[in-house]
Structures are given as structure tokens and as C-alpha cells.
């Protein structure tokens, strides 16, 4: 067997091992995936309208339609980070389990790639699980129209990979006990300023903020999904979302990879 085939077998073996562990912890995975979007959708798109306090966007579109793409995006984003950042931080700092993986017949960089791919798989599953929650729970009908399935698939794939790359970067940069702090000072603000609950175009009323949030990769996930799922709403041009996600993936993977190599080889 040549070295290339051996490396790919080792890569897929490592990935299948992680998937097997995930299957055993499926209930915990499902709970952490659906709890936040479930509560948000239930309160703001079901309970509030029943109380006569529902949100209404310009043009009379229900709030559920506005936030559906954003909540799927944030589900992808959170799942990708949670699947990579904390486990990797623990494996490097506390258990040293990562050294067992590095001993496999794989280049060290491919171990980091496997982490990103594994988290992307979880993010894709999170999107599939969250969609029916956001679609069926709201009191007012949610209007979804997939104009282009290829765009939807590409956006979900890129968003999932970018989320994994963000998790890799965080995981190699902080200690396990600092993960909570990172979520408080980075992840939460990124979420609320990620065009999850409003289209990016409406930020034109606060022009400086509309420009600043362009540094946030979650903006392009939300807007890309808005383009694919609710094209009747204001949204960023699809080419801009795809380009920004591609650049984010390349940049964050490069930063995360350098940090991973530095931590492993030090």
C-alpha cells in the first residue's frame, strides 16, 4: 500500500472513530444543538404573537421568516465552534490525547483538517435539525422558497467549514478554563451582530455598524442562507457572501493551522 492510500485510510479511520463517539453521545449533541434556537423561536415567534406582541418586519413579513436563515446560520456557527474549540483545547492542554492522533501515519496538518471536517459534519446536521423548528413553531406562516439548491448547499458547506476553522483557531489559542470567557466576550457579540435577527441591508440606518460587521463571518452565513431560503427579503449579493466565506475559510484555517502546529511541536 502506497503512502498516500495509507494516509487517507488513517484520515477516514480517525473521522469514523469521532463519528462513532458522537453517535454514543447523540442525545447530548441533540440537546445542545436545539435548545437555544428552540427557546428563541418559541418565545419570539410563537408566544409573543399569541400575546399580541409579535414583531413585524417592513412589508408585513413575519418575524419567523426573517430569522429562519439567521437561526440556522447561528446553529451552524455555534455547533462548529463547540465541536472543535473545547475538545481540542482539552486534548492539547489537559489529557494530551492529541499526541496519540499525531502519532498516526498522517501529516500533522491533516489532523487539524480532520477536526475541521468533523465539526463541519456536526454543523450540517445542526442545520438539518434546526430547520423544522424554525419553520413549524412560529405562530405565523414562515415563507421559504429555495430558488437555487446549489447555492443553498454551497453556503451550508462553506459556513460549516468556516465554523470549524473558527473553532480550531479558538481551540489552539486558549486554555480550557478560558473557553467560557471567549464565549462571553467574542461569540455572543458576534452572534448579535451577525445579521441573525435582521437583514444586513437594514443596517444602512446605522452605516458605521453596517461596515464594521463585515468583519464578522456569521454575517455572510446569515446573508447567504437568506439569499437561498428567503430571497424575497433584502439580502447581500450571493457572490459577496460566497467570496467572503471562502476568504474567511482560507484565512481562519491558515491561522488555526499555524497555532495547531505551534502547540503540537513546541
For the chain, domain boundaries: 3-265
pLDDT one-digit tens code per residue, 154-194: 999 999 999 999 999 988 887 767 777 777 777 788 888 99
Q: What residues have CB less than 8 Å from 23, skipping those under 6 apart?
A: none
Q: In degrees rounded to 5, what are phi and psi of residue 82?
A: -65, -30
User: Can you tell me the distance from the alpha carbon of 152 to that of 163, in angstroms, rounded to the nearest whole number?
Assistant: 16
Give the model's pLDDT for residue 63: 78
Give the model's pLDDT for residue 50: 76
Q: How far is CA 48 from CA 58, 62, 153, 180, 235, in A?
A: 18, 12, 32, 31, 26
State whether the Cα torsion 185-76-232-56 is positive or negative. Answer: negative
Report the C-alpha dihedral over residues 234, 240, 242, 246, rounded to 10 degrees.
-140
pLDDT one-digit tens code per residue, 129-153: 888 888 888 877 788 888 889 999 9
The ranges of the chain with pLDDT < 70 are 1-3, 52-61, 93-105, 176, 266
Give the model's pLDDT for residue 213: 94
Amino acid at each position: 500500500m502506497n503512502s498516500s492510500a495509507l494516509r487517507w485510510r488513517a484520515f477516514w479511520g480517525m473521522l469514523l472513530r469521532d463519528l462513532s463517539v458522537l453517535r454514543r453521545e447523540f442525545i447530548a449533541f441533540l440537546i445542545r444543538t436545539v435548545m437555544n434556537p428552540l427557546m428563541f423561536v418559541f418565545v419570539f415567534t410563537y408566544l409573543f404573537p399569541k400575546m399580541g406582541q409579535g414583531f413585524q418586519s417592513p412589508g408585513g413579513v413575519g418575524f419567523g421568516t426573517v430569522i429562519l436563515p439567521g437561526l440556522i446560520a447561528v446553529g451552524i456557527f455555534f455547533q462548529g465552534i463547540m465541536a472543535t474549540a473545547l475538545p481540542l483545547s482539552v486534548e492539547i492542554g489537559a489529557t494530551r490525547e492529541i499526541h496519540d492522533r499525531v502519532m498516526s501515519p498522517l501529516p500533522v496538518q491533516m489532523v487539524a483538517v480532520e477536526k475541521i471536517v468533523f465539526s463541519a459534519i456536526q454543523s450540517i446536521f445542526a442545520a438539518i435539525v434546526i430547520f423544522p423548528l424554525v419553520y413549524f413553531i412560529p405562530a405565523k406562516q414562515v415563507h421559504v422558497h429555495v430558488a437555487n439548491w446549489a447555492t443553498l448547499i454551497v453556503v451550508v458547506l462553506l459556513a460549516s467549514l468556516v465554523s470549524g476553522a473558527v473553532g480550531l483557531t479558538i481551540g489552539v489559542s486558549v486554555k480550557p478554563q478560558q473557553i467560557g470567557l471567549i464565549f462571553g466576550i467574542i461569540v455572543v457579540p458576534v452572534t448579535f451582530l451577525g445579521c441573525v435577527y435582521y437583514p444586513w441591508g437594514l443596517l444602512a440606518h446605522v452605516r458605521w455598524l453596517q461596515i464594521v460587521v463585515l468583519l464578522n463571518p456569521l454575517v455572510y452565513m446569515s446573508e447567504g442562507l437568506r439569499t437561498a431560503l428567503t430571497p424575497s427579503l433584502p439580502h447581500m449579493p450571493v457572490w459577496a457572501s460566497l467570496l467572503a466565506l471562502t476568504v474567511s475559510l482560507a484565512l481562519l484555517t491558515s491561522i488555526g493551522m499555524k497555532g495547531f502546529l505551534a502547540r503540537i511541536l513546541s
